[in-house]
Copies of this chain bind each other. A is one copy, B any other.
């Protein structure tokens, strides 16, 4: 539909750009699937090497460690979300309408593939299940200095700026923006694993309920 889009990931996240070689593409495409399948804790470069019939040493030439690989996926994901936001809100005049579109994007389960190497549905699933592990570490301050979270921050700023355009007096635009994003992911996880922690059931009839909840609370805050 749109063809392949190019997403720039912070160069410090990899030792060699995985998109530039066949092996590199295999590492990220199969690595994503394997993280999704095993969970980040049980995922190792050794297992990935076996899966792609390469060696641990070869993977280490692309990524310093598995934490950087996770950060790479997260950075990639937010680059993708930023693209979707600018694409889908293009030509929309109403700021409220724009915010609703963005909420639709962040609560959506991405199924169509516009990339070559990364499966977007799996990418979204990995983000939901693993995201907080990227920053809940002792290395967060240094990772932040290296700019590993800039993509996420950019999306957050887009939403915060939009909130301020809707209501310039609202005092907590940044906090609300993060809460919209994080709550969307958290509720999706709880829906699947700890359903008593959300009001939203997972049946087909209610598939819009998560979106409705987020829209309700976002506008309640902004318009209060």
Using a CB–CB distance below 8 Å, which chain A residues touch chain B?
Answer: 38-39, 41-42, 129-130, 132-133, 135-138, 140-141, 144, 149, 153, 156-157, 171-176, 178-179, 182-183, 186-187, 189-190, 193-194, 196-200, 213, 216-217, 219-221, 223-224
Q: 11 A-B pairs, CB-CB below 8 angstroms? A: A39-B138, A41-B137, A140-B193, A149-B194, A153-B197, A175-B198, A176-B217, A179-B217, A220-B221, A220-B224, A223-B224
What 10 A-B pairs are tightest by C-beta distance, nearest first? A39-B138, A220-B224, A220-B220, A132-B132, A174-B199, A172-B199, A175-B199, A172-B213, A175-B198, A220-B221
This chain's copy number in the assembly:
2
Known: A38-B138, A136-B133. A178 touches B186 (CB 8 A): yes
Residue contact B156 to A197, C-beta cutoff 8 Å: yes
Known: A178-B198, A193-B135. A216 touches B172 (CB 8 A): yes
Residue contact B172 to A197, C-beta cutoff 8 Å: no
Question: Which residue on B lies nearest to A132, using beta carbons?
Answer: B132
Contact partner of A198 among B174, B190, B216, B219, CB < 8 A?
A: B174
